[in-house]
Amino acid sequence: MTEIPASDVDSVAFNDPAYRQAIVDLLGAIAYGELAAFERLVEDAKLATDLHDKLALGKMAKVQFDHIEPLLDRINALGVDPALAMQPFVASFDDFHAKTAPRDWLEGLIKAYVGDQLAADFYTEIAAFLDAGTRKLIVDSLDDAGHANFVVARVTQAIEDDPRVAGRLALWGRRLMGEALSQAQRVAVERDSLAALLAGGVDRPGLDLAALTRMFTRLTEGHAQRMETLGLAS
């Protein structure tokens, strides 16, 4: 069994094989989500008609990819092949992206902002119940890579130029929210280890039904706030 530095993680938690497996699964899910987001940003850059926007999205994609490496390092340190850790989540993430393929540049921007930030909120919520080292690793990997400021600027300018696009983008945002929440719930329950992780342990608090409901309420409220920032009704 690969040793995890005591200075980096809570050694008591990692002595529990079930906890180790849950962390491997969680990091595998986040790592594949980051990889899928990177691939999407590269594709979205092709929709941009302005070279400045193409360059901006390319830079954002690079930052997104750089976030993956520390996750892979931790999975390796836990004695697991990162590709094997990510594999169980490929189908669900690919299905989400297939269902929410943007039709144009603006929809791609909304998806990058709404989808990625909702995922960040979800994993940050879960990280609150983990050992300190893993929590920091996850939170650091979810930095928005400049998504927020860039997307808000471009979308609000587009609405100012043509207010008619606001209605369409608001509907798109609501659809993304529904699909993203379904994706988050699917990730949380399709692996027994993650369901057990949310239930807590002798050294960590857990989420009961009421707490889980409050968590998804916070996710919904965060989405509404982001839509408001974009000037769109949620």
What tens digit of pLDDT does each residue of 103-116 get?
888 998 898 888 88
In a domain, 106, yes or no: yes
Q: Which of 116, 137, 129, 138 is CA-nearest to residue 215?
A: 129
In a domain, 3, yes or no: no
In a domain, 157, yes or no: yes
Condensed to tens digits (0 to 9), the pLDDT of residues 32-64 reads 999 998 898 888 888 888 898 888 888 888 888
Per-residue confidence (pLDDT) for residue 131, from 0 to 100: 85
How far is 132 from 134, CA to CA, in rounded Å? 6
Burial of 196 per CB tally in 10 Å (0-12, 13-18, 19+):
middle
Percent with pLDDT over 90 in the chain: 32
Per-residue confidence (pLDDT) for residue 2, from 0 to 100: 45
pLDDT at 7 over 50: no
In a domain, 6, yes or no: no
State the chain's mean pLDDT as an integer: 84
Distance, CA of 221 to chain centre? 16
In a domain, 234, yes or no: no
How far is 69 from 46, CA to CA, in rounded Å? 25
Total of domains in the chain: 1
pLDDT at 93 over 80: yes
Per-residue confidence (pLDDT) for residue 204, from 0 to 100: 56
Q: Name the residue with higher pLDDT: 61 or 212.
A: 61
The mean pLDDT value for 86-92 works out to 92
In a domain, 8, yes or no: no
Confidence band for 29, pLDDT divided at 50, 70 and 90: very high
Q: Which of 194, 209, 219, 67 is CA-nearest to residue 130?
A: 194
User: Residue 15 in 3-state DSSP?
Assistant: coil
Question: Domain containing 96 — which CATH number?
Answer: 1.20.1260.10
The mean pLDDT value for 81-101 works out to 92
pTM, two decimals, is 0.86
In a domain, 142, yes or no: yes
Q: What is the dihedral of CA 141, 97, 159, 113, to 10 degrees?
A: -10
Burial of 5 per CB tally in 10 Å (0-12, 13-18, 19+):
exposed
How far is 173 from 49, CA to CA, in rounded Å? 22
Per-residue confidence (pLDDT) for residue 169, from 0 to 100: 94
In a domain, 57, yes or no: yes
Per-residue confidence (pLDDT) for residue 150, from 0 to 100: 86
Task: Give me 1's structure tokens.
Answer: 């069994």
Confidence band for 126, pLDDT divided at 50, 70 and 90: confident
Condensed to tens digits (0 to 9), the pLDDT of residues 146-203 reads 678 888 999 999 999 999 999 999 999 999 988 888 887 777 767 777 777 776 655 5
pLDDT at 31 over 90: yes
Instruction: Determine the structural domain holding residue 120 and report its residue range.
Output: 13-229
Is there a contact between 218 and 153 (Cβ–Cβ < 8 Å)?
Answer: no
